[in-house]
Amino acid sequence: MQITFKLFASLSDYLPPDRKGNVLSLQVAEGTTVQQMIRDYRIPEMSAHLVLVNGVYIPPSARADRALTDGDELAIWPPIAGG
Amino acid sequence: MAWTRKILRVNLTAGTCTEEPLNMQWAQDYLGSRGLASKYLISEIDPKVDPLSPDNKMIMATGPLTGTMASTGGRYTVVTKGPLTGAIACSNSGGFFGAEMKFAGWDMIIFEGKSPKPVYLFVENEKAELRDASHLWGKSCWETEEIIKSQHQDPQIRISSIGKAGENQVLYACVVNDLHRAAGRSGVGAVMGSKNLKAVALRGTRGVGNVKDFPAFMKATNEAKKVLHDNAVTGQGLPKYGTQVLMNVINEIGALPTRNHRDVQFEDASKISAEAMHEKRESDGKTHLVTNAACFGCTIACGRISEIDKGHFTVKNSPKYWGASGGLEYEAAWALGAANGVGDLEALQYANLICNEQGMDPISFGATVGAAMELYEMGVLTAEQIGIDSPFGSAEALAKMVEMTAVGEGFGKELGMGSKRLCAKYGHPELSMSVKGQEFPAYDSRGIQGMGLAYATSNRGACHLRGYTVASEVLGIPVKTDPLATDGKPELVKAFQDATAVFDSAGICVFTSFAWTLADVQPQLDAACEGEWTMDKLNEVGERIWNMERMFNNAAGFTAKDDNLPPRLTQEPAKTGPAKGLVNGLAKMLPEYYQVRGWTPEGEPTADTRQRLGL
């Protein structure tokens, strides 16, 4: 299945160097979870602060069970703020 | 001491500068800066006064921590009755001006009356005098700073001034200090202009001494700085990416107001984001962002300093804009960009530079452009009226409009009145995205429900800095709450509003609250300020300030009917994103909020509440 994977701010360093922007379009196995994506891309747990699937926040306790589905957009930020 | 105990009263009509003692009982009750200056203003003016008349007053005020070793202790506020809203206005700025006021020995400066001719106030420690500013009138904020420093042969003078926007009484004109820091919202610069006061120039060499318990203060400020340093947001995220990092976040959650709030997601958000500011441009191979920057005493350093593309159509014939300068911050980037559908980063920076140069609030300006573009697309306004084709997304129209508004030419005069008056004039008051006449900042309250209540009840009109529940609803600070839920939001909004009043009144930056709670501020204040400053007292001071501001607005004529949102946000569901199908649930939250506040169903503090808070 195909998903869109987005890493922002300092997490963009975990994207492949030849990527353009902060977005990757990926083929992943059925049943891949949010937690697996975080681990596969070696994102430190503490840095995966704001984790959104299709814009909806996924709390740390739900990431291991949240399976992605075709067309999902997974976006992750480190701790950030603004105003 | 934390307070200098001195006020400078400047009567512009008579041309006099008089020293007065600070009311120390009020200092105990209202702390400083926003709270204390508002107490003075409210005690001295008729709430129904015309904001642009000589009978209105304008106060520049520091807090007890301004100029001290407390991190971010460089803030000052400009308090007045605002011309954009008719409500109390309190605009807060960083930079170095506030600390300099303290170094010169003053807690606040109260301006009253109106000068018969343009003047500027020059303060050198205890010496204060009004000087002729006829040679400065018509100059920009940038030129004014340069001329005054050159004239006095002192590059260390700190200056707050108005540009042409303030002179022309653009209703959202700012007071700009240190070139690109601004007391930005509610039109405080127009009040300054109405008084023929061009600038305030300060030189202070006294420092800030005699805090109540110096060893305890050093310990408290050092510990608090460590908290900021060790926190991932204030120690790493804000210095590197600035506030602009929110552009992609808020777009992703479907709360980025786009094209005058027609949409909640902007297809070009990534092009105007913090990440884009770090990318090398194709045109010249340089990044937009040059460096970050800090205000006085700040250990966060979230400020952005950028360099515009010299070949961009907006500046290719204007070298004066080619140097590194302030921006883009998130609010300006949103208002000049997504709000109008403009995805050209360089055009946004150009408009931002003009706002800094001539002293205009980019939030209200940008949002007013958004309203004008919608009126244009509806056929209500024409290219002939505006002076240029103005569909959503036109960087050329944005550039033309900012130039016209800054100098008060053509259709710029109408844009300078703000979106409420513009939309009313052309028969569509519902298209003004504002509360109490002040335009929304960068969060759509269909996607962040608590912000709808925060906007509706903000004492200075729509504003994110009076109760930033985005911290909790989106960013998880201090705890994560559901942005799409209304339950619990009245309590959340009240807690943010009251705490923010304390941060503002202390003289520190509200961005510290991404790492600090009031429990981190309390030891600093208690060590600095005479008297006993407990958590209970701080909570009470914050609530007292909020209620005092509310009572002023009620006396000025505002009622519960003004705690409202435009129909677009309460009747037109969001089209995309997590909030798709939702409107803001203000009708549910507002009565609960009044109850939590101890207010009547009409939105007025009850006698019990007033008595409890000593109001």
pLDDT, residue B191, reads 98
What is the CATH topology of the domain spanning A2-77? Answer: Ubiquitin-like (UB roll) (3.10.20)
Identity of the residue in A22, A73, A78 whose CB atom sits nearest the CB atom of B237: A78
Tell me if B591 sits within 8 A of B602, measured CB to CB.
no
For residue B156, which of B196, B222, B204 has the smallest C-alpha distance? B204
Q: Given an 8 Å threshold on Cβ–Cβ distance, is B233 in contact with A79? A: yes
Tracing tokens 């900012």 back to the chain, one arrives at: B402
Q: Given an 8 Å threshold on Cβ–Cβ distance, is A81 in contact with B475? A: yes
pLDDT, residue A17, reads 85
Query: Which of B391, B408, B435 marks a domain boundary?
Result: B435
Contacts of B465 in chain A (CB under 8 A): 83
Distance CA B377, CA B371 (A): 10
Contacts of A22 in chain B (CB under 8 A): 248, 270, 275
Q: Which amino acid is at B433?
A: M
B545: in domain: yes
Identity of the residue in B240, B468, B578 whose CB atom sits nearest the CB atom of A83: B468
User: Same structural domain for residues B294 and B364?
Assistant: yes
User: Same structural domain for residues B418 and B481?
Assistant: no
User: Same structural domain for residues B306 and B357?
Assistant: yes
Tracing tokens 């697309």 back to the chain, one arrives at: B377
Question: Domain containing B481 — which CATH number?
Answer: 1.10.599.10
B81: in domain: yes
Distance CA B396, CA A14 (A): 37
- Does residue B71 sit in helix, strand or coil? coil
pLDDT, residue B1, reads 58
Q: State yes or no: pLDDT of A23 exceeds 90.
A: yes
Phi, psi values for residue B504, rounded to 5°: -60, -40
Residue B175 CB contacts under 8 Å (≥ 6 apart), including other chains: B78, B91, B93, B160, B161, B162, B166, B182, B183, B188, B189, B192, B359
Question: Domain containing B22 — which CATH number?
Answer: 3.60.9.10
Taking the Cβ of residue B496 and every Cβ of chain A, the question of whether any pair is shorter than 8 Å is answered with no
User: Same structural domain for residues B494 and B590?
Assistant: yes
Specify the length of chain A in residues. Answer: 83
State the nearest Cα–Cα gap between A20 and chain B, in angstroms. 10
State the nearest Cα–Cα gap between B276 and chain A, in angstroms. 8
pLDDT, residue B158, reads 98
Contacts of A49 in chain B (CB under 8 A): 232, 476
Domains identified in chain B, total number:
3
B212: in domain: no
B209: in domain: no
User: Same structural domain for residues B330 and B377?
Assistant: yes
B231: in domain: no
Distance CA B339, CA B330 (A): 12
User: Same structural domain for residues B157 and B268?
Assistant: no
Question: Domain containing B382 — which CATH number?
Answer: 1.10.569.10
Domain that holds residue B462: 449-613
Tell me if B104 sits within 8 A of B134, measured CB to CB.
no
Take residue A45 and report the two structure tokens written for it.
């747990």
B396-413 in b/e burial notation, b at 16+ Cβ within 10 A?
A: ebbbbbbbbbbbbebbbe
State the nearest Cα–Cα gap between B244 and chain A, in angstroms. 7
Task: Report the relative pairing of strands A73-77 and A50-53 from DSSP bridges.
Answer: antiparallel
- Does residue B203 sit in helix, strand or coil? strand
User: Same structural domain for residues B391 and B460?
Assistant: no
User: Same structural domain for residues B405 and B381?
Assistant: yes
B222: in domain: no
B241: in domain: no
B153-174 in b/e burial notation, b at 16+ Cβ within 10 A?
A: eeeebbbbbbbbbbbbbbbbbb
State the nearest Cα–Cα gap between B214 and chain A, in angstroms. 32
B213: in domain: no
User: Same structural domain for residues B328 and B418?
Assistant: yes
Neighbours of B196 (CB within 10 A): 19
Q: What is the mean pLDDT of each run of 10 residues along chain B (615 residues)?
A: 92 98 98 98 98 98 97 98 98 98 97 98 98 98 98 97 98 97 98 98 91 96 98 95 96 98 98 96 95 97 97 97 96 98 98 98 98 98 98 98 97 98 98 98 98 98 97 95 98 98 98 97 97 98 98 98 98 98 98 98 98 98
Identity of the residue in B237, B275, B483 whose CB atom sits nearest the CB atom of A81: B237
Q: Given an 8 Å threshold on Cβ–Cβ distance, is B476 in contact with A55? A: no
For an interface test with A, the pick among B240, B244, B248, B264 (most A C-beta atoms closer than 10 Å) comes out as B248
Tell me if B431 sits within 8 A of A50, measured CB to CB.
no
User: Same structural domain for residues B373 and B466?
Assistant: no
Identity of the residue in A12, A54, A82 whose CB atom sits nearest the CB atom of B275: A12
User: Same structural domain for residues B502 and B609?
Assistant: yes
User: Same structural domain for residues B415 and B558?
Assistant: no
